[in-house]
Copies of this chain bind each other. A is one copy, B any other.
Amino acid sequence: MVKVGIAAYGTTPFTKEDQKIESVLHKSTKNLFENNPKIDKNDIDAVLVSTNNNSKYLSPILSEMMGIQPKIAHSIESLCNSGTNSIVSACSYIMSGLADMVFISGAERYDSPGQILSWDNSRGEFKHPIFWASIFTKSYKREFSISDEQLALVSVKNHKQAKENPNALSNKTYTIQDVMNSKKLTDDLKLLDCSQPCTGSASIILATEEITKKNTDNPVWITGIGQKTTSAGFTKNETFSSMESTKLSGQDALKMSNHTIHDIDVAEVHDAFSVCEPMALESLGFSDYGKGMSMINDLYETNNFKINPRGGLIGSGHPLGATGISQTIEIAQQIQSNSNKRQVDDANVGLVHNMSAAATSSTVLVLEK
Contacts and interface: CB of A to CB of B under 8 A. Distances in A.
Q: How many copies does the complex hold?
A: 2
Most buried by B among A22, A56, A114, A117: A56
Interface in A11-51: 22, 47
A291 B7 CA distance: 46
Contact of A78 (B54, B73, B119, B357): B73
Contact of A95 (B57, B70, B79, B98): B98
Nearest to A256: B98
B82 A232 contact: no
A60 B360 contact: yes
A96 interface: yes
Most buried by B among A47, A82, A92, A236: A92
Most buried by B among A52, A77, A225: A77
Given A54-B54, A96-B96, A119-B55, A230 B91 contact: no
A119 B227 contact: no
A19 B360 CA distance: 26
Nearest to A70: B229
Interface string A212-248: 0000000000000111111111001000000000000
A352 interface: no
A89 interface: yes
A32 B89 CA distance: 25
Given A60-B229, A92-B89, A78 B77 contact: no
Contacts of A69: 228-231
Contact of A227 (B71, B225, B233): B71
A93 B90 CA distance: 10
Contact of A56 (B85, B114, B225, B230): B114
Contacts of A2: 96
A96 B92 contact: yes
A52 to B, nearest CB: 6
Contacts of A1: 97
Given A82-B74, A356-B57, A233 B88 contact: no
Interface string A64-86: 10000111111111110010010
A211 interface: no
A63 interface: yes
A71 B79 CA distance: 15
Contacts of A117: 57
A77 B75 contact: yes
A113 interface: yes
Contacts of A71: 226-229, 249, 252
A274 interface: no
30 contacts: A2-B96, A47-B229, A52-B56, A55-B119, A56-B113, A56-B114, A57-B232, A57-B357, A59-B229, A60-B78, A60-B229, A60-B356, A60-B357, A61-B119, A61-B232, A64-B231, A64-B236, A69-B230, A71-B226, A72-B88, A74-B77, A74-B82, A74-B85, A74-B89, A75-B77, A76-B76, A91-B98, A92-B96, A92-B98, A93-B96
Given A69-B230, A71-B229, 11 more contacts: A54-B54, A54-B113, A55-B118, A56-B79, A57-B119, A64-B231, A69-B229, A71-B227, A71-B252, A89-B92, A94-B96
Interface of A: 1-2, 22, 47, 52, 54-61, 63-64, 69-79, 82, 85, 88-89, 91-99, 113-114, 117-119, 225-233, 236, 249, 252, 356-357, 360-361
